[in-house]
Amino acid sequence: MRLVEHPLPGPLSAHLAQPPAEAISLVWLGQAGFVVDGGGHRVVIDPYLSDSLSKKYQGTRFPHARLMPAPVAPEGITHVTAVLATHAHTDHLDPGTLPALLGANPGALLVAPASATDVARARAGISQDRLRPIEAGERLAICPGLEVVATRAAHELLEQDAQGRHRFLGLAIRVARATIFHSGDTIPFEGQVEEVRALGADLALLPVNGRDEMRRANGIPGNLTVEEAVTLARAAGVPSVIAHHFGLFDFNTVPRATVEAAGSAVTDPHLAAARTGAIYRLEQEAT
């Protein structure tokens, strides 16, 4: 399969008001958030569509003011089968997004790390029967034709709770005969390439805002650089990457031009810089 970028034919809200099609497509919600359609299912990953963090950190050194507006309201995403959270940081498991999103989709399930079940329920405002915990190494059948597989992730560290459950996960969606891997927030770690290669992913969604001593000293965990994302995908045999987790907070980003330049310079893997106003499709290679 090859990744092809097209302009959205209209507003994102109009697109997300329509039922998902059989073919695979993705749209970016900003930061680490994506909507994945395929096989008649719609999966939302790590949506941050509020100003929760700017309210939390108002008046501090890092006020978390948005550099880009939320491209759609949470309740504007409908026909959702499942919402996935890779970890419990607010820009991935957002109390300002999840109640409205899950309220607009009363049949949708929330998949979250087993280490974060209590906080996931509290932030989403849902009953226990709508929550599906998952741990690294597990496979979870959401419904016929839709499966989620969890890997480890290292948001600077491979952290575990007192029960040995991983705090940070990567989540792979298997739908419509394709596998789409969202690494969650991560840096390189031993065994990562082997875990990702075993997924046989057609597409990887990788964070590229990097890390540095200033952020580390202020308790801001980092992510892959663009170069590390390319190296991971190449080593794991993933043919296409959408680079994300940039352009939202001024203290925790890289210039879009840097990501786009890398995409222009690299052909293996194919690297696209995530943008709103675009729809990404996985299409069969011509034979």
Give per-10-residue mean pLDDT for the chain (287 aa).
Answer: 94 97 97 98 98 96 96 98 98 98 98 98 97 98 97 97 98 97 98 98 98 95 97 98 98 97 94 97 79
The domain that contains 237 carries what CATH number? 3.60.15.10
Could you tell me the pTM of the whole model? 0.98
- Amino acid occupying residue 263: G
Q: How many domains does the chain have?
A: 1
For residue 185, give its domain range.
2-283
Pairing of strands 82-84, 41-45: parallel
Query: What integer pLDDT is reported at residue 284 of this predicted model?
Result: 80
Residue with tokens 């891997």: 181
Bridge partners (DSSP) of residue 181 are 172, 204
With a CB cutoff of 8 Å and minimum separation 6, the contacts of 157 are none
For residues 206, 209, 215, 218, the Cα torsion angle rounded to the nearest 10 degrees is -60
Q: What is the pLDDT of residue 9?
A: 92
* Helix 192-199, helix 226-236: angle, nearest 10: 60
Quick one: DSSP state of residue 180? E
Residues 6+ apart with CB under 8 A from 268: 234, 239
